[in-house]
Amino acid sequence: MSEVSDRVLEEEKLPEQVGSSALTLLFRIYTCILLVGGLLWALDVPSRLGLALIEPEWLGPYLGVATAAAMLRWPYRREAGALDVVLGLLAIACWLWLAINYSSWMFDTSGYTLDKFIPGLIGIALMTEGVRKSCGTSIAVLLIIMLVYALLGFLLPRPLQADDISPQLLVMYLYSDTNAIPGQVLSIIATVVLAFVIFGKLMEVSGATNFFTDTAMALMGRRRGGPAKIAVVGSGLMGSVSGSPVSNIMSTGTVTIPLMKRMGFTPEQAAAVEATAATGGVLAPPIMGATAFLMAEYLNVDYAEVALAATLPALFYFVCMYMQVDAMAARMGLAGMNKSELPRLRTALRTGWIFILPMALLIYLLFFQGFAAQYAAIFASVALMALALMRGRLRKLAEWKELVFGGGSILIPLVLVAGAAGVVDGVMSLTGLGQSLSVILVQIGADWGLLAMLLLTAALCIVLGLGMPTTAIYVLLASLVAPALVKMGVTPMGAHLFILYFGVLSFLTPPVAVSAYVAAGIAGADMWRTGWLGMRQAIMASLLPFLWAYEPALLMQGSWLSIVAVCCTTLAAIMLISRGVAHIRGSLAMIRLQGVVLGVAVLVVGTSTLWLKQQPLLAIGVAVLGFLLCGIMPMLSRHLAGPAVRA
């Protein structure tokens, strides 16, 4: 059991008690401030009431409250005590001091005096400890390494050598500059991401999980390997809203995993299917987790543009999963579920239409009306709340408590990760580290080629992701690696989505494999075997980023003919992989031979848009040949396997 897995599991549970009743009340006040206070800020209520606040004057105390909440949520002892309370209040005081003095400091020429330096030093130290408690040791260690580099980097040789920076300058820059902690990343989390956390939590509390699961069961239950297909569809739908793989698994997985086991899937297979589908849900528009909003800001584009670019990769991810599940069920001889066990689609839609309309409104406001993302999410949340109340939902006090306090609890690690990202951004801006590393990486790319750069980036994302939230991975590598990828010829959108995909895939990668760990716990399966199976099932998600790095048409960037060509060739490659899983059989030598032939065919078909870049019609022709090969593969496989198998 890993520290990261345990911590992520804890984050998904709202504690009934963090200590005494007084401390539990204090924790709930903190979470309420994070949710309700953040909502008021996102709606620009203070300025509408005549209270003109500069952004850091709100973001500083907001971060302080998140730090204080983390101290109570993850106390030093079994239950929170006086030390946790005092440290939390001290964090709030330090960041409140910034808010009180920020306007005057903007025009202050007295330098880095102790009344500025000491609160800043304590505030940053307590924020780092809050990050350690809520997000794990690895990201806290990274912050310490970045701080040490900022202070001692002038001792390193070029090109990693930094300017000689004093502790006073470093602390005040990180503490108060809008290019550091109270800056862009924290602002996005405290407005846009907060609005979507509210929408996702409201969907969950009002019963969307049951609706998505029932709809998936009605659509897929009677098909071959029905429960696994229910997991793919249901987790994909729920994941696109929740933005959290673990939350997705703990909601839909409790239904789909037992069904899969009952139908004949092994515990490891059931857990791997659910983990892979739930993780892929984070990559599915319209919400895509917190990182997509950061990506839109980094790229200076509308969020709708990011969601549009991510549509085809997400679609192919789930098409590949569906086909692999179907092939697995065919190989195992599994049937579907009985009609009597399944809900009717009409019944599911009759009770669940209240979830469809708000999602449609969200998409309409985002994509067709050009609303700011936070306003679109808030309007969709209001519509959902009204419809839920009309249908007799959200009538219990416990549901409102879960919405407010549970939603606020989800924000704790997100806000602290945003503060940590501010440290990374601030150090790189102050020292020039980002530019130095970009020069080194571009040189590696020039010497070894773009493929080597992409492989190195993928490895960095996965290794860092073994102990860090996806948001932190993205912010770090978006600043360090993405500029180098762009200089090597990858489109900006392609470079940033590449980082996002491999950051998310770290949830499936052993030894931590948070998604696999959680799903294996529900299934009673071995975590390691589940993780490796999940990686195999997500193979297409591992290959797609390399494809769009060379062929941006997969991200809807290019002519319609090139987009059609890449869709055809990718779909043909997916079908070849799935058919191979279903039909390759025979002796060990014959299986290996068929595997090699199939691998070559997948590679040729899947990359045909690259070596036929100026001839998309020929690439479509190659895709047609791939589809024909899929059609004759069962007969060809039986012939190669020999008479014994045919009998």
Distance CA 626, CA 607 (A): 12
* Helix H or strand E segment including 422: helix 407-431
Q: What is the mean pLDDT of each run of 10 residues along the chain (647 residues)?
A: 51 62 92 93 87 89 96 90 94 95 78 85 96 86 92 87 88 91 90 89 87 88 87 82 76 86 89 89 77 84 87 90 85 82 86 89 86 89 92 86 89 91 89 80 83 86 71 76 86 92 83 82 87 83 88 90 92 82 64 75 86 86 88 67 46
> What pLDDT score does 647 carry?
34
- Give the whole-angstrom CA distance, residue 592 versus residue 584: 9
- Provide the pLDDT for residue 173: 92
Q: Cα(497)–Cα(254) distance, rounded to whole angstroms?
A: 30
Give me 527's structure tokens: 């975590």
Measured CA to CA, the distance from residue 14 to residue 398 in angstroms comes to 12
pTM for this entry: 0.85
The rounded distance, in Å, linking the Cα atoms of 205 and 376 is 20
Task: Name which of 348, 343, 322, 346 is nearest 222 in CA terms.
Answer: 343
Tokens of 420: 């940590």
CA distance linking residue 488 with residue 338, whole number of Å = 54
Phi and psi at residue 512, to the nearest 5°: -85, -60
Q: Which of 645, 621, 626 is nearest to 635 (CA)?
A: 645
- The pLDDT assigned to 119 comes to 95
Q: What is the DSSP letter of 275?
A: H
Q: Which long-range contacts (C-beta less than 8 Å, at least 24 apart) are formed by 41-44?
A: 41/190, 41/191, 42/190, 42/191, 42/192, 42/194, 42/195, 42/374, 42/378, 43/378
- Inter-CA distances, 4 with 138, 288, 467, Å: 9, 22, 6
Q: Is 134 exposed, middle or buried (0-12, 13-18, 19+ CB in 10 A)?
A: buried
Q: In the numeric block, which tokens belong to residue 103?
A: 């306007």
Please report, as a single letter, which amino acid is at residue 485.
L
Q: What pLDDT was estimated at residue 181?
A: 94
SS3 state at 224: coil
pLDDT value of position 581: 65
Instruction: Tell me whether residue 402 is exposed, middle or buried, using C-beta atoms within 10 angstroms of its C-beta: 0 to 12, 13 to 18, 19 or more.
Output: middle
Picking from 577, 580, 542, 560, the residue whose alpha carbon sits closest to that of residue 620 is: 560
CA 602 – CA 607 distance, rounded (Å): 8
